[in-house]
Structure 1
Amino acid sequence: MTETPGAGRGPAAPGVPGPGPAWFGAVMGTGGLATLLQIHSGRVPGFSSAAVVMLVAGWVLLVGLGTGFARSVARDPDMWTSSVRDAAMLPLWGMVSMGLLAVGSATFIVVEAHAPMLSWIAFGVDVALWAAGTVLGLATAVGFAVWLLATRPDHPLPTWALPMVPPMVSATAGGVIARQFESDVARVLLSAACVFCFVLALALGGAVIVTAYHHAWFRTPVPVVLSTSTWIPLGIVGQSTAAAQVLSGPALAGVARAYGATVLVAGAGLGAFAVLTTVRGFLARMPFTPGWWAMTYPLSTCGLGAHYLGWHAASLLTVAVLIAIWVLCAVASVRAIASVRAA
């Protein structure tokens, strides 16, 4: 969730970027937390109100970062060109896609619970953001995959999984949207599109994750400054678990549950590696970057997947950890931005 540098080992201190795609991990994490808080609001007092706060925060971040980036591009058009042509910047658009999807899903879930009379508006917003996020996510995933095949770089990193996750998020969110349609034709067509997104993300994401982790485990460790990027592949783990449950019909429910349980349990190993790598980074005085937010959204997807499997205790534990990490990232972000402005 940061720019993809070379495989250096030292904790270089990159500058804090201005508003733009690099910060959309905050949008994703906030939207994901809002959804989980609302889902578990019946189990934990205060979660319902907290979900509203997080939804508002998600919208403030989405609009603020989008507006700020638009202003920057208006002043310097080359910024737009580099963001879509630079191989180090292109994956960051995956975060923009997931930010749109996460806030859209949270909007429908939270508004429906708190203001049912406005649920039709929230649903329309969700559909619009899903469409925009899906188109952007597919373009980013395919574009980055083409770049990988054309250039065959020899320094794979976990950040490569970033543009491969959005189609899986679209699969889950789209499956939930499809359930709201009264038209059987619309429901079938949207579900088919979601299945396509699921398969695409699983194929591309799986290949990238295997390549990146093989490199990290047997050749060159993940650079300290990118330690938090090891959380990104958990997005495929959690979202594919949730998507399988949402998209499967009664005939495939058993298969979907078996898949989800297997993937989540296996994903615990990736989670342990992410924790150990991140702790190593903090001990090595890893400098703050917006990439710290990479710890939030992937974790929220695992909590969502556990919820759909009926593993409520595991999902609640995930929420508790996610809240702590969100606070850490928020405080670190405010301090970093304040330091830049004071300089």
Structure 2
Amino acid sequence: MGVSTSSRLSALSSSLVSTLQSLGVPGGVPGYVKNRRRYTAVLPPAGPAWAGSLMGTALTSALLEIHGFAAGARAMLLIAGAVTIIITIGWLVYRSPKFTPVVMPAWAMVSLGLVSLGSASSTILADSLGDAVWWFHFGCCVIGGVLGLVTYVVYLRQLITGRAGTPTFSWGLPLVTPMVTATAGMRFHDWLVGTDVSGAPGADGAHEVWTTLILVLSMGAFLLTLLTAPVVFTRVYAYYLGPRSRRASHHRLEPMAAPTIWIPLGIVGQSMACAQLFGAATGWVRTGVAYGFIMCVVAIPVTLTAVVVHYQAALRGISYSPTWWASTFPVGALCLGVHWLSDSSGLGWLDQISVFLLVILLFHAGVATLGGTMAIIARMARRLRAVTGGRRR
């Protein structure tokens, strides 16, 4: 008889663990307690808790367009628009969660989702809608950027004062918002630079002021993330992957939170992408390329760690929750960064890696969508049985 799929996956997991250890990842990977029963899915009300799905679908649509899958890109953008409407109406109805410091990661996802939606719209619809879609891009960038800056400041204070609770990879969500806004801002900057303003009195001077201002603000936003997120993620990695994680059960990542271990990859990929835009805008292309390759090296252990931890937990059984969407946007950010690095460096083989990452992204998004659909159907079925059986829940 052949080796079962489960055995092969276990062997692959063991191989990746060995690879991680050879790369110097401290303490291996966190252990899990195997689920002995099926847990009920966690389905919060429609609202910011589900904004990860907006982030994932919006970025996926942009990447599909970039890699030449136009029909899929428009379909995914339509889904992202529908998700935006559902999340907005859901929050207006349920008002959950409130805008309080402890839930800033959820509101950070709203910021990231809005910025991603604007960027995806300009990527896909620029040829058909022209300047109008770029101003929509700018509006999403401003609204999402301001919201992201608020979540960054509020949550950074929580982290500094020790009021953010137990270390978790979602700590990084408010901290990455400025960098994502910076990337979107630089794309608008590039469009604005190429806009013809000749013929209007004083237009050239005002145009230069605005492009310079956007460049400076984007660089400042980029640095806000770059100076804080690596420190915070180092703290989180040390908590779950350090020596204490082997001796103390409370230092082990909960299975349901396993997908969030992809979040640091979002910083790696997003900074790689943003650096290419800065390099093109300032003439420091080689510097941007060098930074991109450094981030490629950093991405290897970060990705392998996420694969082992997330897939190990998935194989052992984790109940559905919005955290499943945490495995989408970071992979998409790396996919985008590698693609733009390919353009900057002229190395076509890098774009093949970007396509491979897009396949992984589609797989993660498909799993998250299917899991959510099944969980919602299961909840509706339980409620229907309760009603028809005359029982109260």
Show the counterpart of 1:265: 297
TM-score norm. by structure 2 comes to 0.78
2-structure distance, mates of 1:197, 1:160: 18
Distance change in 2, residues 1:277/1:268 (3 Å): same
Residue 153 of structure 1, CA deviation: 5.4
2:109 is aligned, of 82, 95, 106, to: 95
Q: Secondary structure at the match of 1:233?
A: helix
Show the counterpart of 1:332: 371
Pair 1:35-2:24 in alignment: no
Cα pair 2:101 2:154 within 8 Å, conserved = no
Show the counterpart of 2:209: 185
Residue 254 of structure 1, CA deviation: 1.0
Q: Deviations over 1:193-250 (max 9, x none)?
A: 1101100011121111111111111132322110000001111001000001112245
Cα pair 2:47 2:86 within 8 Å, conserved = no
Cα pair 1:209 1:233 within 8 Å, conserved = yes
Q: Match for 2:219: what amino acid?
A: V
Residue 124 of structure 1, CA deviation: 1.5
Residue 9 of structure 1, CA deviation: 6.2
Q: Which runs of 5+ in 2 are unaligned?
A: 1-31, 196-206, 245-250, 343-349, 383-393
With a CA cutoff of 8 Å and minimum separation of 6, indicate the structure with the bigger relative contact order. Answer: 1
Residue 151 of structure 1, CA deviation: 2.5
Cα pair 1:10 1:225 within 8 Å, conserved = no
Q: Answer with 152-161 or 266-275: which moved more.
A: 152-161
TM-score norm. by structure 1 comes to 0.89
Total equivalences in the alignment: 321
Cα pair 1:303 1:316 within 8 Å, conserved = yes
2-structure distance, mates of 1:316, 1:154: 38
Bigger-Rg structure (1/2): 2
Show the counterpart of 1:4: none
Residue 51 of structure 1, CA deviation: 0.4
1:208 is aligned, of 228, 232, 235, to: 232
Show the counterpart of 1:67: 89
Cα pair 2:169 2:264 within 8 Å, conserved = yes
2-structure distance, mates of 1:257, 1:292: 32
Q: Match for 1:245: what amino acid?
A: Q
Q: Answer with 173-182 or 243-252: which moved more.
A: 243-252
2-structure distance, mates of 1:252, 1:271: 28
Q: Which runs of 5+ in 1 are unaligned?
A: 1-7, 42-46, 74-78
1:304 is aligned, of 329, 333, 336, to: 336
Q: Deviations over 1:295-341 (max 9, x none)?
A: 11110000000011112111111111111111111111111112222
Task: Please report the RMSD computed on the Cα atoms of aligned residues, expressed in angstroms.
Answer: 1.8
Residue 251 of structure 1, CA deviation: 3.7
Show the counterpart of 1:135: 146
Q: Match for 1:120: what amino acid?
A: D
**Where in structure 2 are the equivalents of 1:142-221 lying within 5 Å?**
142-151=153-162, 155-181=166-192, 182=195, 183-218=207-242, 219=244, 220-221=251-252
1-structure distance, mates of 2:153, 2:52: 20
Cα pair 1:260 1:309 within 8 Å, conserved = yes
Q: Match for 1:253: what amino acid?
A: V
Cα pair 2:260 2:323 within 8 Å, conserved = yes
